[in-house]
Amino acid sequence: MFLVENYLIAVLFCFVTMVCWGSWANTQKLAGKTWRYELFYWDYVFGVVLTGLLFAITMGNNGGLGRGFFDDLSQAQAGSLVSAFLGGVVFNIANILLVAAIAIAGMSVAFPVGIGLALVLGVLINFVADPADGNAVLLFIGVGLVTGAVILNAIAYRQLPNQQAGVSTKGLVLAVVCGVLMSLFYFFVGNSLAKVVPENGGELLSVTAANLANGTLETGKLTPYTANFIFTIGILLSNFIVNTIVMVKPFVGTPVPLTDYFKGTFRDHIWGLVGGGIWAIGMTLNVLAANVASKAVAYGLGQGATLVSAIWGVFIWREFRNAPKSANKLLAAMFLFFIVGLTLLILAKL
């Protein structure tokens, strides 16, 4: 299987994750205007699963390092499979709640509360579960700055015309629950990952070619590719329950008949598949990078996706073209906070 060996490559993979996680939602804009999100989400999930499987049977099943995908799957213990699967279930629920929170309370509430909370709690949870051999002070200062950037983005967004309405309590609650769940999914996936057992015993090591040359892959646990695929299966199977319920009892809007999915055009369906594929590429590369960059740093950099989504909104979709000058100053400060914060996250592991 293919593994990341160099820290700079791991950081590059994390930046690709940022781009993927911050860009996939644009595909919904490119789908039909009458195509409800609940319907788009089915194709998004199918795209996630297909991309995860493609990585598993190619990069995860070739090369002389570790175990191939099928061998790894056959030796996996139930606990590892369940942990990766639960990660998918938790992520799917959180993602659907995030979309519902955006629909009800707007991006200015949903993103800073949901993603901001997920970033802070997620880095803390993953750091405690698997402490990085880096500078914890730089790590958490960086997280604080990125969180501040998300908040500045929210304040700027609130200054847009038609964004001054009161905050919905339901939307706020959904965003909080989303943030808590979103902070947990990466922990479940990380808990299923195998480490390297040194030939002479001692502390378990991260999965790299250098460590595998002097040790063996931990039995019962999963390689990044297998864990990522089982994670996507968790998303898929839970979606038959969660998204079906949301379609019948939506948080906002009228119910969506299940038969409407089959009325979509090729354009409606293809953009959902592309969106899911984009997100899954980011997830796969992030899990690979975590072996070198640590789970806390990889997750923190990946959740910097809010910066990418802000760039799309400001420069491509021109969402702030009618904003007052004060909003532009807030946006400039936001980008500065993001750049400094992400830089500190990188330096924390050097």
Residue 7: which pLDDT band, with cuts at 50, 70 and 90? Answer: very high
Does residue 204 register a pLDDT over 70? yes
Alpha-carbon distance values, 328 to 157, 310, 311, 320 (Å): 10, 12, 13, 8
CB 98, CB 178: distance < 8 Å:
yes
Would you call 102 helix, strand, or coil by DSSP? Answer: helix
For the segment 204-223, the average pLDDT, to the nearest whole number, is 92
Burial readout 10-36 (b: 16 or more C-beta within 10 A, e: otherwise)? bbebbbbbbbbbbbbbbbbeebeeebb
Joined tokens for residue 324: 């007052």
Q: What is the pTM of this model?
A: 0.92
- 215 sits in which H/E element: strand 215-217
List, for residues 15-44, the tens digit of each pLDDT value.
999 999 989 988 988 887 789 989 999 999
Residue 103: which pLDDT band, with cuts at 50, 70 and 90? Answer: confident
CB 80, CB 144: distance < 8 Å:
no
The DSSP code sequence of 127-156 is HHHS--SS-HHHHHHHHHHHHHHHHHHHHH
Instruction: Domain ranges for the chain, please list them.
Output: 7-347
CB 246, CB 93: distance < 8 Å:
no
Alpha-carbon distance values, 98 to 110, 142, 174, 251 (Å): 7, 24, 7, 11
Average pLDDT, the chain: 91
